[in-house]
Every structure is written in structure tokens, then in C-alpha cells.
Amino acid sequence: LLSQQLRLNERDLHDTTVTDGSSFNASMQTSPASMINQYKFEEDAEDTKDIFVTVDNPESHVTAIETYITYRVVTKTTRSEFDSSEFEVRRRYQDFLWLKGRLEEAHPTLIVHPLPEKFVVKGMVERFNEDFIETRRRALHRFLNKIAEHPIFSSSEDFKIFLTAAPGELTSYKKQGPGFLSRMGETVKAVAAAVRGVRNRPQEFTEMQEYVEAFSQKISSLDKVTQRIVREQKEYLEELKECGPTYALWSQSEEELAEPLKDVAGCVDRCCKETEEQVKNLNDNLIPVLHEYALCTDTLKAVLRRRDNIQADFEAKTEALATKKADRDTMRDDLDKAEDRLEWANNALKSDWTRWQKDMRTDLRSAFVDTAERNVNYYEKCLAVWESFLHSQRTDAEGNGNVDFS
């Protein structure tokens, strides 16, 4: 029964793969209600998840002309369209970039989760040091899992090829994309539409734009501040590491204070370990979420621009039909196609916007709760260390009868 249900889910997802009108079928129903139903995302999607992807085991490759890193991508699935239940391939960053571009090209008004930046993050001296590679691996892992969780992207043929194709097959498949002149033509059209602008943008998309601008300012600011805090904590940690040995060295020349100094040195060392773990937790769990959603604002702005370009194209065709008398039948067909494409694009964005907001709020809430719990745990441990020191000193003082801690 589970296998049958999974196959039904896969078939339903496959039937809704076209979401933005780029491959619009005129025989399909185009009423707003029917199209909105195409983009309904199941509340219990996690319960029916049938594809699991892991990115791990980075390897460095050196050739005569370049040095690059590949990552192992392991896929486990129960989907019937896959030839096997498990696949293992190696992919480099350029392959991930290709996948993202293909998804955006096929679905211009759906929201693709961002990739980590192509170039070295500021502050990292060595491009391929362990920290950089691990940070990128985690981000690539999250990227593929966001794609796998998406009801449209996860059924994409490009995604399947990415997960299963041998290196030679993937290279051949990548060459089958639109040629340079075709891409240039689309770019020229997009520029022309951007110059024209849109005259009657629906209010809901104007509100989306305003939300994205406000969200971008807040999340980018929080991202920068959090990264600065972590840098300062790392500097504090380095200073703290010097204190323990200093106290221990001092105890050798102060006979009367030897025991308290040794105890302080021990407390500082234990706090160092807790601080080191705290910095690592912030670096691994909070910063990546904030930074990815800061990057996501650029994706959202690009999606809204593409939607505006589709509307601008429709408005331009409407004007052309009204002012020209020749070739009106052909122009009317073009206008109908542009109208269909706009309607599909609008409905795709509205539904994916709802999905994105839900995911964003879930991810950020989880990161904030996790950070709060780890902070409480960190401060409780450090507090216990120093309380233990105070208790030992009070006990010694009471035994000697010569120190008042009241």
C-alpha cells in the first residue's frame, strides 16, 4: 500500500512539473481554480518523503590547469522512475551551479534555494582549507535537500540526471541546453522588458516586493552582526586560552596562593573548552541559516523581476495588437500565449511564496530555539565551574578561619 501511494504521489507530482508556462500545453485547463490546485503543497509532505540525498566525502583533484573539489552525492529513493533504489556519484560545485540554473530556466517564478557563494568567503585565507570545504559541503547538502523536498523540483528530469548520471553522461546532457544565441536572445528580451517596466502590477506582488526589501535589510543585518559576534568570540577564546597557563605559572611562585591559582587555571581551561564548543555551535548551526536566507533575498528579487518581465512582455504584445492592423491573427495567438504564460507564472509564484515563507519561518525558529538552548547549556556549565571554585574556597576558608566570603 505504501509503494502504491508513493507511486500515486509521484504521478501527481509529475503531472504538475510544468509550473510557469515555459512549456505550456493549450489542452490543459487554465481556470485560476484549476491552476491553483496544480500548486497545492501537501501539509504532510514529510510523512511521504520518498527521496533522501546526502552530500559528503569531499575530495581534492589537481590537474594541469586547475584544482577543484568534488563531493560524493548519495541518493536513496523508492521512486519508480529511478532505475535503482540507491545511487552514488561525485559532483563538483559547477555541477550544482548548472542544476540551479536549469531549474530557474525551466521554472522562472519558482524559488530555488541559494547555493553558497562561488568565491571564497571573506576572511578565509586558503580557498581549499578544511573549514571552507566543510562549510561548502554543508551548504551543498542543504541545497540538494531543499530541492528534494520541493514538490516540483524533486520531479525534475534535470534533478534526476544530476543525482544518477555518470560524469560523461552528465557532461553530454549539459551540452544539450539552449545555445549561446538562444540565451542571448532571452537576455535581450529580459532587458527590454525591464526597461519598459510593468504598468499594472497586481497589488499582491507589490506587497511581496516590499516584504522582500524589508526582510533583506533585517536578515542581512542580523547575518553580519552574528558573524561579527562569532569573530569576536573567537578572539576572546584565544585570549582566554592564554589565561590558564598564566595562572598555573603564577602558582609556582606564590606558595600561599598556589592552590587557588591552580584551581582558577583549571576553571579557565574548562570554560575554554565550553566556549570553544559554543563558538562551533554558532558557526555550524546559526550562521549558515542566517547567511543562506540572506542569499535567498537575491533569489526572491530575481524571481519577482522575472515575473515582471513576463507581465511586461504581455503588456507589450497587448499594445502592439492595439496599434497594428497587419498580421493580427498571428499577434492574437502570441498574445494568448503570453497571457497564459503570465497566469501560470503568477499562480506558480503565489503558491511557492506560501511554501517558502513556511519553510523560512520553520528554519529560523528552529535555529533560534537551538541557539537559545545551547546558550543556556553553555552558561549553566560555566556557572557550575565557577560555583565549584567558590564552594572549594569557602570550605578552605572556613577550615582556616581567616577569610570572610559573606
> In this predicted structure, what is the pLDDT of residue 31?
42
What is the share, in percent, of the chain residues with pLDDT greater than 90?
63
pLDDT band at 108 (very low <50, low <70, confident <90, very high): very high
Dihedral (Cα; 71, 295, 119, 74), 10-degree rounding: 0
pLDDT tens figures, 275-318: 999 999 999 999 999 999 999 999 999 999 999 999 999 999 88
| DSSP E strand boundaries for 156-273 | none
C-alpha cell at 146: 531543499
Residue 36 has pLDDT above 70, yes or no: no
> Taking a C-beta distance cutoff of 8 angstroms, is the pair 82, 157 a contact?
no
C-alpha distances (whole Å) from 26 to each of 10, 22, 316, 328, 338 are 23, 12, 22, 20, 12
Mean pLDDT of 329-346: 90
Residue 76 has pLDDT above 60, yes or no: yes
Mean pLDDT of 134-138: 93
Please state which of the ranges 133-137, 325-329, 369-373 shows the lowest mean pLDDT.
Answer: 325-329
What is the share, in percent, of the chain residues with pLDDT greater than 70?
78
> In this predicted structure, what is the pLDDT of residue 187?
55
> In this predicted structure, what is the pLDDT of residue 191?
54
Locus of grid cell 559532483: 91
Mean pLDDT: which of 63-67, 183-187, 383-387 is highest? 383-387
Q: Rounded mean pLDDT of the chain?
A: 83
pLDDT tens figures, 250-279: 999 988 899 999 999 999 999 999 999 999
Mean pLDDT of 15-37: 40
Mean pLDDT of 368-380: 96
Mean pLDDT of 332-340: 90
- Could you tell me which residue, 190 or 89, shows the higher pLDDT? 89
Mean pLDDT of 327-339: 84
177, 169, 148, 211: which is closest to 10 by C-alpha? 148
C-alpha distances (whole Å) from 297 to each of 176, 285, 338 are 30, 20, 27
pLDDT band at 118 (very low <50, low <70, confident <90, very high): confident
DSSP calls for 269-303: HHHHHHHHHHHHHIIIIIHHHHHHHHHHHHHHHHH
> In this predicted structure, what is the pLDDT of residue 198?
80
115, 126, 392, 87: which is closest to 260 by C-alpha? 392
> In this predicted structure, what is the pLDDT of residue 45?
45
Residue 162 has pLDDT above 50, yes or no: yes
CA 291 – CA 220 distance, rounded (Å): 8
CA 244 – CA 267 distance, rounded (Å): 8
Q: Centre a 10 Å sphere on the Cβ of residue 79 and count the other Cβ atoms it contains.
A: 18
pLDDT band at 199 (very low <50, low <70, confident <90, very high): confident
> In this predicted structure, what is the pLDDT of residue 322?
81
CA 365 – CA 145 distance, rounded (Å): 19
> In this predicted structure, what is the pLDDT of residue 13?
41
> In this predicted structure, what is the pLDDT of residue 11?
43
